[in-house]
Structure 1
Amino acid sequence: MYLLILWLPLLGSIFSGFLGRFVGHKGSSIISIVCVFFSMALSLAAFYEVGLMGVNHYITLTSWINVGILKVSWSFLFDSLTVTMLVVVTVISSLVHLYSLEYMQNDPHLPRFMAFLEIFTFFMLVLVTADNLVQMFVGWEGVGLASYLLINFWFTRLAANQSAIKALVVNRIGDFGLSLGILTTFYIFQSVDYFTVFSLAPLFTNYFLNFAGFYFSGLTLIGIFLFIGAVGKSAQLGLHTWLPDAMEGPTPVSALIHAATMVTAGVFLLIRFSPLIEFSSTVLNILIVFGSLTAFFAGMSGVFQNDLKRVIAYSTCSQLGYMIFSCGISCYNVSMFHLINHAFFKALLFLSAGAVIHALANEQDMRRMGSLIKFLPLTYSLMLIGSLALAGFPFLTGFYSKDFILEITQITLNKNLQNIHGTFACWLGNLSVFFTAFYSFRLIYLTFINSVNTTRKNILKSHEPSLLMLIPLIILALGSIFIGYLGKDLFIGLGTDFWKSAILILPTNSYFIEAEWLNVNLKWLPFTLSIFGIILATIVNKSKVHTYLYTIFYRKICFLISKKWYFDVLYNRFFVYPILNFGYTISFKNLDRGFIELIGPYGLSKIVIIWSKLFSRLQTGQLNHYLFFIVLGVCLLLMITCNQMQLVVFYSVLIFFI
């Protein structure tokens, strides 16, 4: 049963990809849907058996690498953390598959699209079920490859090509960091198996590596390398630039990448390695600082975006920041709970945005929408539910996890007032709540409520999505309302033992218990900031107040933020252009076309020409000259191969005949 959860998406991908032209749209669609829905059903059964009944499973198929002390096998670990991720991945993937049948029905390459979606799901399942770092790295690279294929699905578009290459290249940096983490782990622990590494981690807290005369903590070094991998895959500040550009792919791809697969891989990696990261306070502080800055930066950037999907993409980046700095304050279970909740309302937002784009003939600019509440009332209701859950409105799914993270930051602020990480976690996290509420309702106003700003033709043709698109949206809306309430006691309730040994939190780092006794007035702070953001979005969009703010300073700030703080420009100027210039002037002109060609093909050809001219002069056409060279050659050969006595005999005979 457990292995079928992985093999079914792989089989569906193979059949859809290689037999798609024979079975057609309907055949590939049926195969894909059946495989992924059966995988979802088995994941739910595994969640019941492993998560609720507490029966962990460990399956070994065969040996894979056996070189010296490096022993890696194809093994699969099913514990509470794994089965929770299995449910999230397969449920969201199944709904996205169902949604794609209608959304992509007119695309001639639907079988290829379904094959890519399923291979994406398969590699994510390999990543979360692996029991060693090498096998996990296979899934890690696989989701990167699948994301490239899906972002570049419409490969005739230049923007899609560029975005896919950008996503692949930026993630190479994170993948390089993760590979260094794997190598360092093997060097220190002589193993890449999870159980071996986690059981030995407490014994290596005082282990230091000597590099160039400097001593580095082994666990800290591994944690930093793993964090670099998470920065690339989960789009944290510095390597976040690929995520907004990934919107060039079809909308179902965006929903799958942002809700359940690629960007959650980095957060899952940090949660999985909690038994190792917990013993390094340096890594925890780095997680807090980067996560807080990412949440704040992405929230502020989302305020000034005009593309419907880019606003939601920046909100994903911001929410991933919450998950990362929640890991930094040792609340891995709360981070995982927020990952589960975020999957439902983020998939709802993306698929609802896809319904709007579908209704308006692929229009994505919010400034060219408006008044769609009259034509798409059901889509408006669904997107409103997703926006309220994202903003942390009370008693919706996002409220139970995001507000709890912010309550924990209040504890860390009180305990670590003199430390930068306590301040970062509290203030930047709470300020991000305001920006999240503002851009969520700015999206609602510009898309649905404000005056219409599109053509009459588009408005008259707009319509609610069909049943195949509505069913996933309604299921996700129900999840965005109820999942947080239904899961809070199971995942983060006081005294729950759901996670068991899958997550380790040291008693000295445990803050979430104290959040229950936090001052009630402080617990109202996130809700107050959310309401203030909603009110400000209403004032700005329903009145002329922004005309009074239209000063030079305001315009420069808005321009700076709308340009994404010039991260892309700075990267191009200080990294991309110098590397390209170096590649052309040094590598290509001086080395490839210069030094290497002079001593290689070009130089050899010159030598051959010179020697050929020299030997051509020896071709006199006279037999006695040729005979002389033959005898000379035989003499030289004998001098090399024969001893002195044999040479004397040979020359005596030769002289006699001459």
Structure 2
Amino acid sequence: MTASSWLLVALPGLGALILLLAGKRAKAWGHLLGCATVTLAFVYGLILFFTADTSSTVDTKVYSWIPVGQLQVDFGLRIDALSLTFVLLITGVGMLIHYYSIGYMADDEGRYRFFAYLNLFVASMLVLVLGNSFVTLYLGWEGVGLASYLLIGWYQGRPSAATAAKKAFLMNRVGDVGLALAIFIMFKYAGSTGYAEVFKAVGDGKFSTGAITAMAILLLLGACGKSGQFPLQAWLPDAMEGPTPVSALIHAATMVTAGVYLVARSKDIFNATEDGRLIVTLVGTVTLLLGCIIGCAYDDIKKVLAYSTVSQIGYMMLAVGLGPIAYALGIMHLVAHGFFKAGLFLGAGSVMHGMNDEVDMRKFGGLRKKMPITFITFGLGYLALIGIPPLSGFFTKDAIIEAAFGQGGWRGWVMGGAALLGAGLTAFYMTRLMVMTFFGKERWKDIKSTDGRDFHPHESTAIMWVPMAVLAVGSVGAGAFFALGDRFAHWLTPSVGELEEAHHSPLSAGVISIAAIVFSVLGVVLAYLIFRRDIPVEQPQRVSFVTRAARKDLYGNALNETLVARPGTWLARALVFVDNRGVDGAVNGLAASLGGGSGRLRRLQTGFVRSYALSMLGGTFLLLAALLLVRFS
């Protein structure tokens, strides 16, 4: 069966190709084809999951891709526990989002094209996680970037959507440069870009210590760009300009998890450099707190969930940065996050669908009565996210907090303490979202929507709430699965290594679990006490410095503008000046000199014989004068 694993990529890829070639002729059936191809890919992924031998790695060569001298790159696919986990997550959650999109995009004239882009996105993600070399991974990496650009900028008539798409594309290119440079280093030292060859070369000591550390940092830069980690996180909340299914697809189980996959897949590289792992953990720690703090200040329901994703990916990065003891924990939280965050985004889309596309939570309130199914499914995702037992987030997030404390010394207290604080903040901002959206006064009765119409909230159709219900069941069921000991971690062992116990934790596992629950409960209670009262429809302007900073994304955009954008603009202007006045000036000046000189010499050609005879006579006198001067000097 593994020999035909290329079908996983071919099915959604073929769907995208057919829909793009068919164009408007696919209006009536394009959405059906898009859903069918992803469904077939999911079914085939299930077959591989149950039939493939994941105790070992199977690499399949599809064809010789780049046979150029010493650079021999095959387009090959790798089937192991890690890749199959991502295959099921991408195709399974992607399939549900496809079905949800049938209802959500029902009135969009370009729905067939939307499904083509969704298929392209899924196909690119599958290339990324199935490739057996870093170059093949890079192909999927760039394909995902292209598809995300097209989907984020779907509403092309909105300047904000076009800007958000461009911002996502450009910021991801910064990370992509890091990944490309890392691949160059691999080829220099290992003579190959294949996983097997590169990891063997690392184990054989062919890489210098500096090269391994540089390679790890550059890989992390690529991961930060794709996964929205500090300092390249600013694009991710702006990506909410795309339709809600896009937000669910990008922020749940696909694009933003690619960075976590990259670090986990490159474990042999990161295991060889403690400095590289430390930087990964620090990035994850900073990012999880940054996302939590900003999420507390936004009133846009999708942006709150977006910063929640930034924070939760921070937990995953913290886990995979801890090394062999926690690679599996990062993947476990990634899987759980894929269920509950996709459900939360689809729930937010359901709320928007019933509220005339309004995203401001201050204009919601009391929607649990009007949208009971959305409320229940969203509520289960909420409980899973904040880590309430026995839902999935409790088992995965608490394990990461325990592993962070297990680092011992200052690392344990700083990283474990930050992760524990993040759990409390997560409970606070998510409870704030729940209360402002589903509880309290029905504020939407007294105001108009953004386009002047009255609000008439209603439950979404079955094609939308059924995928939400399935994801809600997954949020609960994944918790039960993770509670069955370490079976999932052991299943991942051939790909990411054995899950080890933390030996340096200053606190026991029981104490850490109780502390996490206490922090979460405190966050819930505090948010409920603050936001249960009547919420003003207009956002207060007189707020604390922390709130103002959080509303400005903790000045992340300002930081990027100051450190990258403006210096880049100044450098470009300086180079343009040098090019115009220096390079072009020299070339144009030489041309002007030759042209001017030839123009003046041309005046000597009069066509009169007497002029030429006079000039010859004058030349003769000059020559004689020169000879006499030399003779008598």
What TM-score, normalized by structure 1, do the two folds share? 0.86
Alpha-carbon distance in 2 for matches of 1:181, 1:287: 16
- In structure 2, the residue matched to 1:129 is 130
Alpha-carbon distance in 1 for matches of 2:535, 2:118: 45
Is 1:157 matched with 2:158? yes
Question: Is the 1:80–1:502 Cα contact (8 Å) retained in structure 2?
Answer: yes
**Which residue identity is paired with 1:288?**
T
Secondary structure in structure 1 of the residue aligned to 2:232? coil
1:607-641 CA distances to partner (integer Å, 9 max, x unpaired)? 4355245336536388999xxxxxxxxxxxxxxxx
Query: How far apart are 1:435 and its partner, in Å?
Result: 0.5
Is 1:345 matched with 2:345? no
Alpha-carbon distance in 2 for matches of 1:385, 1:624: 103
Question: Is the 1:285–1:421 Cα contact (8 Å) retained in structure 2?
Answer: no
Question: Is the 2:406–2:503 Cα contact (8 Å) retained in structure 1?
Answer: no
1:276-425 → structure 2 map (5 Å cutoff): 276-330=269-323, 331-412=326-407, 416-417=408-409, 420-425=410-415
Is 1:533 matched with 2:520? no
1:186-229 CA distances to partner (integer Å, 9 max, x unpaired)? 22222211112223323328x53xxxxxxx53322221111111
**Aligned positions, number:** 601
**Which residue identity is paired with 2:219?**
L
Q: 1:23 aligns with which of 22, 26, 48?
A: 26
Alpha-carbon distance in 2 for matches of 1:38, 1:220: 41
Secondary structure in structure 2 of the residue aligned to 1:59? strand
1:205-264 CA distances to partner (integer Å, 9 max, x unpaired)? 8x53xxxxxxx5332222111111111111111111111111111111110001122111
- In structure 2, the residue matched to 1:639 is none
1:507-538 CA distances to partner (integer Å, 9 max, x unpaired)? 9xx335999x9352332111111111000011
Secondary structure in structure 1 of the residue aligned to 2:115? helix
Secondary structure in structure 2 of the residue aligned to 1:524? helix
Question: Is the 1:49–1:55 Cα contact (8 Å) retained in structure 2?
Answer: no
Query: How far apart are 1:599 and its partner, in Å?
Result: 2.7
**Which residue identity is paired with 1:381?**
I
1:484-495 → structure 2 map (5 Å cutoff): 484-489=479-484, 492-493=486-487
Question: Is the 1:382–1:473 Cα contact (8 Å) retained in structure 2?
Answer: yes
Structure 2 vs 1, CA of residues 251 and 551 (structure 1 numbering), >3 Å: closer, same or farther? closer
Is 1:10 matched with 2:5? no
Is 1:41 matched with 2:30? no
- In structure 2, the residue matched to 1:474 is 469
Alpha-carbon distance in 2 for matches of 1:511, 1:287: 20
Secondary structure in structure 1 of the residue aligned to 2:544? helix
Structure 2 vs 1, CA of residues 619 and 84 (structure 1 numbering), >3 Å: closer, same or farther? farther
Alpha-carbon distance in 2 for matches of 1:583, 1:110: 40
Structure 2 vs 1, CA of residues 603 and 107 (structure 1 numbering), >3 Å: closer, same or farther? farther
Q: 2:572 aligns with which of 577, 583, 606?
A: 583
- In structure 2, the residue matched to 1:564 is 553
- Percent identity between the two aligned chains: 32
**Which residue identity is paired with 1:346?**
K
Alpha-carbon distance in 2 for matches of 1:604, 1:44: 70
Alpha-carbon distance in 2 for matches of 1:102, 1:610: 75
Question: Is the 1:5–1:42 Cα contact (8 Å) retained in structure 2?
Answer: yes
**Which residue identity is paired with 1:315?**
S
Q: Which moved more, 1:457-466 or 1:33-42?
A: 457-466
**Which residue identity is paired with 2:179?**
L
Question: Is the 2:366–2:441 Cα contact (8 Å) retained in structure 1?
Answer: yes
**Which residue identity is paired with 2:17?**
I
Structure 2 vs 1, CA of residues 620 and 452 (structure 1 numbering), >3 Å: closer, same or farther? farther
Question: Is the 2:367–2:437 Cα contact (8 Å) retained in structure 1?
Answer: yes
Is 1:235 matched with 2:198? no
Secondary structure in structure 2 of the residue aligned to 1:186? helix
Is 1:594 matched with 2:578? no
1:49-128 → structure 2 map (5 Å cutoff): 49-50=51-52, 54=55, 56-128=57-129
1:353-402 CA distances to partner (integer Å, 9 max, x unpaired)? 00111111111111111111121111111111111110011011211211
Query: How far apart are 1:158 and its partner, in Å?
Result: 0.9
Question: Is the 2:15–2:119 Cα contact (8 Å) retained in structure 1?
Answer: yes
Structure 2 vs 1, CA of residues 78 and 545 (structure 1 numbering), >3 Å: closer, same or farther? closer
Alpha-carbon distance in 2 for matches of 1:606, 1:10: 59
Alpha-carbon distance in 2 for matches of 1:131, 1:538: 49
Structure 2 vs 1, CA of residues 307 and 519 (structure 1 numbering), >3 Å: closer, same or farther? closer
Structure 2 vs 1, CA of residues 103 and 623 (structure 1 numbering), >3 Å: closer, same or farther? farther
Alpha-carbon distance in 2 for matches of 1:128, 1:606: 60
Query: How far apart are 1:286 and its partner, in Å?
Result: 1.3
Question: Is the 1:597–1:603 Cα contact (8 Å) retained in structure 2?
Answer: no
Question: Is the 1:400–1:485 Cα contact (8 Å) retained in structure 2?
Answer: no
Query: How far apart are 1:135 and its partner, in Å?
Result: 0.9
Secondary structure in structure 2 of the residue aligned to 1:388? helix
**Which residue identity is paired with 2:50?**
Y
What TM-score, normalized by structure 2, do the two folds share? 0.89
Query: How far apart are 1:68 and its partner, in Å?
Result: 3.4
1:4-51 CA distances to partner (integer Å, 9 max, x unpaired)? 111000110011112031132x21111111111101100111111226
Alpha-carbon distance in 2 for matches of 1:544, 1:469: 31
Secondary structure in structure 1 of the residue aligned to 2:204? helix
Gap regions ≥5 residues in structure 1: 209-215, 626-658
Alpha-carbon distance in 2 for matches of 1:311, 1:261: 19
Query: How far apart are 1:73 and its partner, in Å?
Result: 0.6
Query: How far apart are 1:54 and its partner, in Å?
Result: 4.3
- In structure 2, the residue matched to 1:620 is 607
- In structure 2, the residue matched to 1:247 is 240
- In structure 2, the residue matched to 1:463 is 458
Secondary structure in structure 1 of the residue aligned to 2:200? helix
Question: Is the 2:149–2:165 Cα contact (8 Å) retained in structure 1?
Answer: yes
Alpha-carbon distance in 1 for matches of 2:332, 2:509: 23
Secondary structure in structure 1 of the residue aligned to 2:59? strand
Alpha-carbon distance in 1 for matches of 2:560, 2:509: 44
Q: 2:436 aligns with which of 424, 433, 446?
A: 446
Secondary structure in structure 1 of the residue aligned to 2:443? coil
